[in-house]
Amino acid sequence: MVYHSSFVNEEGVTKACGCPLLPLKSHIKGPAPVYDNDGTDVVDEAITFFRANVFFRNFDIQSSADKLLIYLTFYINVALKKLEGCRTLAEGTKAIINLGLEEVPVPGESGFPFPGLFVLPKGQEEAELFRNYLKQIREETSGRLLSVAYRSNGTPNKWWLAFAKRKFMNIIAL
């Protein structure tokens, strides 16, 4: 059984392209509101559920937050592929920074991994808002992923990097 997001209450949450711009526990500048609780945010959920959800070929969407969880699961898969050949935390950090510098496509643009999952942006302003949110959430996910993909001594955690070989929803991460 696939794990779903617990962020089903979307009252007062801004949306872009049919995706809720959920709050993040983040120091990175961007359009995401600040998560003021001590609990888990959507990035924590994505990392926690990744190793279970990556085995599924289908994902039954129960809320629009699940769409974000799908996107983050795919992004974690891509990030782990980049980290796969990195033998130290320093090499992994460099690879993740380079991944973060890549252009972030939005729905309707080539390179967006899930056409049809998100609604096309209604205009350039909504597209830029969603692009900036995805960039912020990717950067936050990358930073937190490094802390689980590498041990405190800087060596790779094989129990995480082994999942780089998995395909999520039959999509091959490049």
Q: Is residue 34 part of a domain?
A: yes
Q: Is residue 171 part of a domain?
A: no
Placement of tokens 């060596």 in the chain = 155
Instruction: Give the separation between CA 106 and CA 113, rounded to whole angstroms.
Output: 9
pLDDT at 56 over 80: no
- DSSP state letter for 102: S
Q: Is residue 174 part of a domain?
A: no
Count the domains in the chain.
1
Q: Is residue 123 part of a domain?
A: yes
pTM: 0.91
| Domain coverage including residue 158 | 15-165
Q: Hey, what long-range contacts does 158-166 have (CB within 8 A, 24 or more apart)?
A: 160/51, 160/80, 161/80, 161/83, 161/84, 163/50, 163/51, 163/54, 163/77, 163/80, 164/77, 164/80, 164/81, 164/83, 164/84, 166/54, 166/55, 166/77
Instruction: Give the separation between CA 169 and CA 174, rounded to whole angstroms.
Output: 14
Compare 161 and 56 and report the one with higher pLDDT.
Answer: 161
pLDDT in tens, 112-158: 988 888 999 999 999 999 999 999 999 999 999 999 999 999 999 99
Q: Is residue 64 part of a domain?
A: yes
140: domain CATH number? 1.10.1760.10
C-beta atoms surrounding 54 within 10 Å: 19
CA 88, 112, 131: angle at the middle one, nearest 5?
80
Q: Kind and range of the H or E element at 140?
A: helix 124-149
Q: Is residue 10 part of a domain?
A: no
Q: Is residue 23 part of a domain?
A: yes
Q: Is residue 128 part of a domain?
A: yes
pLDDT in tens, 76-115: 999 999 999 899 999 999 999 988 888 999 999 988 988 8
Integer distance in angstroms from the first to the last C-alpha of the chain? 26
